[in-house]
Chain A
């Protein structure tokens, strides 16, 4: 790609909805999130398992029928626990990346009170983290046990067949047709977490726009600079 004009990376992340989520082995979690009418849920899974996507989809589906809040704690942690003031009366609230505040006592206490109020007011809410509450180091016991009182759903990584389907579908949603052999090649040569694979799709998207080429195995190999010698 030396010397070529590289398009700026300004593509927006498409709006997260349940329709664009590839559930695979995680259908039970998706159903529970969509169908719960009150009370809390706890979703956990490794980075790239789709927690943020699902939470944003839940908020999107609930709003604008009800006031719905989405709290990305990794982004809000630096702003202090006041960032969640005023959300206790929301009928729908999604709290993403709980791990980000696990070591912070002030945040722990604030969330304990927030969860207690959501509970007594019959709200719908969902919390996500990288691991189950019992495995999240740093949480105060009072918060940990409150979280373990929620139904827990693990988001599992996709198996290779599902991942293949998902990859082709993700490309399709961007208007790209990813041939079978190219998808298989990507899965055999790249780290298979969603973040890496999506980044590859985005790179292919830009390259195919720039070169006005459709995706073929050879084009994919050349673009990603991994063409075997």
Chain B
């Protein structure tokens, strides 16, 4: 049951689109910065397979420039 948090950087001018795209993904919680082009993405997947699927979907997002991991936890 992995939990990760990331700083999510949108492509230029795509912050709202990124918020929308991430909101549509399962297992994702998003918090937007009010005064910076930045979002916090928190993922809480039930197992490793779901995590891998989610990672693929994240990589496919056109509105996402990059993710910087801030926290990671996986149960033993």
- The judgment on whether A and B are partners is no
Interface residues of B (CB under 8 A from A): none
Interface residues of A (CB under 8 A from B): none
